[in-house]
Amino acid sequence: MTRAALLVAHVSQLGNIEHAQRVAQGLMAAGFIVRVLEPEAARLAIPGADPVRDAGGTEMVIALGGDGTLLRAAELALPHEVPLLGVNLGRVGFLAEAEAEHLDEVVRRVAACEYDVDERLTVDAIVLDEQGREVARNWALNEVSVEKAASRRMVEVVVRIDGEPVSQWGCDGVLCATPTGSTAYAFSAGGPVVWPEVSALLLVPVSAHALFNRPLVVAPESMIEVELLGNAPATIAFDGRRVVQAADRGRVLMRRGAHSVRVVRLRQRTFTGRLVAKFGLDVDGWRGRSS
């Protein structure tokens, strides 16, 4: 049986290219066909690698870089339901499963099929204009953000859940995040950390001028609606990567995604341990551990 893996790398740094070449050599030695994206093939310069445009027919997508690289790789993995493995070559790399110093172990575990696969919830969104006509449709692994497009003007929005109005905010934006995205933009905006096993969506206002401006945890089956009242231009971004212009007095409808992203787990490390390690949490407290 032919085994193939797609490598997706952040090729702007020489060190990342060297790491990708090392992984490719290890996989090829284990009998894999190594594939790379056509725009990255020349920079990676991996002898024998097949340039491709998507992840079709691959056993795994391996992302080498930071969380941005992993989100880019997720766009390739999701349509083909291919498991995604992240190797952190950036700073935090919260979504990654392994660090650069573990490359040989990564290759060995992948070749031996010694890994588990988690299903990560996504969020789907439909962008409508003032007449209710569809303008765009897309998805996100971390979050969908509805944000002001002009730095000096807040957007005025009405938020509804399952058709019922919840609040009206003048704000910099509104985020609809998944548990995976709860440690990303939503966390920076004051949202709670949600364990990946929790099936829920987060609604997080960004710098909202309102008496009630707290983040909400919403059932994934619920429909979250953000209506723009047309006082200022706004944009809708999917994982901060794919951006569309919002229509004046348009709406954004968001709910649980129809498809999950399959994330590879090499170790039995708990989310709690990952949270403490990645954020450098002081578990002893500033006064030290009590006796």
Classify residue 233 by burial, with Cβ atoms within 10 Å: 0-12, 13-18, 19+: middle
Q: What is the C-alpha to C-alpha distance for residues 194 and 291, in angstroms, rounded to an integer?
A: 30
Backbone phi and psi for residue 229, each to the nearest 5 degrees, phi listed first: -90, 5
67 assigned to active site: yes
Strand order across the 251-256 sheet: 134-140, 123-128, 251-256, 224-228, 155-161, 164-171
Q: Which two tokens stand for residue 233?
A: 């231009």
Q: What is the C-alpha to C-alpha distance for residues 139 and 67, in angstroms, rounded to an integer?
A: 17
As beta bridge partners, residue 227 has: 158, 251
Active-site residue, from 67, 124, 172, 239:
67
86: left (phi over 0), alpha (psi -120 to 50) or beta: beta
Classify residue 160 by burial, with Cβ atoms within 10 Å: 0-12, 13-18, 19+: middle
Distance from the first to the final alpha carbon of the chain: 58
> Residue holding tokens 């990255």?
40
The catalytic residues are 67
